Amino acid sequence: MTTPVRSPCVSICALDDNDVCVGCYRTGQEISSWGRFSDDERREVLKKVAEREQAASNFIRLPS
């Protein structure tokens, strides 16, 4: 028996203006559907999460 793909939740639950959680980088839809996703679907979400997290860490805010 394989272990199910775990949620990336870090208990910092707040969606930004783009409907992406600032804690786990999932969209609101991905969060609400997580329990119904297959492990393959969860892995696809985790790939998107990694891309969003990388994009967020590459974002440099310049002083106004």
Residue span of the structural domain in which 25 resides: 8-54
The residues that bridge with 15 in the sheet, in sequence order, are 21
Q: Is residue 25 assigned to a domain?
A: yes
Q: Are 19 and 27 in contact (CB under 8 A)?
A: yes
Q: Is the pLDDT confidence value at 58 over 80?
A: no
**Other C-beta atoms lying within 10 Å of the C-beta of residue 28:** 12
- How many structural domains does the chain have? 1
Instruction: Tell me the whole-structure pTM to 2 decimals.
Output: 0.83
**Cα–chain-centroid distance for residue 9?**
8
Q: Which two tokens stand for residue 63?
A: 């002083």
Q: Which two tokens stand for residue 9?
A: 């939740």
**pLDDT given for residue 2 in this prediction:** 79
